[in-house]
Amino acid sequence: MKTELDEAKKETAQCSCSEDEESLYSGLDVVIDGFIGVPGALIPVLQSTQNIFGYLPEKALKHISERMKIPYSEVTGVVTFYSYFSTVPRGKHIIRVCLGTSCYVRGGKEVLEAIQKKLSIPVGGTTVDKMFSLEVGRCFGACGLAPTISIDGEVYKRVKPTKIGEIIEPFYAEAEANAGADREEV
> Least distance in Å: CB of 15 to another protein?
21
Whichever of 9 and 62 has its CB closer to another protein, that residue is 9
> Least distance in Å: CB of 39 to another protein?
7
Concatenating the DSSP letter of every residue in 25-63 gives HHHHHHHHHHTTT-TT-HHHHHHHHHHHHSS--HHHHHH
> What Å distances lie between residue 146 and 33, 124, 135, 152, 155, CA to CA?
43, 22, 17, 18, 10
Considering CB under 8 A, how many residues would be counted as binding another protein? 47
- Whether residue 88 contacts residue 99, with contact meaning beta carbons closer than 8 Å, is answered with no
Whichever of 63 and 118 has its CB closer to another protein, that residue is 118
Gap between the Cα atoms of 83 and 104, Å rounded: 20
Whichever of 32 and 142 has its CB closer to another protein, that residue is 142
Residue 129 binds another protein (CB under 8 A): no
Residue 10 binds another protein (CB under 8 A): no
Gap between the Cα atoms of 150 and 26, Å rounded: 32
Residue 42 binds another protein (CB under 8 A): yes
Whichever of 24 and 98 has its CB closer to another protein, that residue is 98
Element at 173 (helix H, strand E): helix 164-185
Residue 90 binds another protein (CB under 8 A): no
Residue 151 binds another protein (CB under 8 A): no
Residue 66 binds another protein (CB under 8 A): no
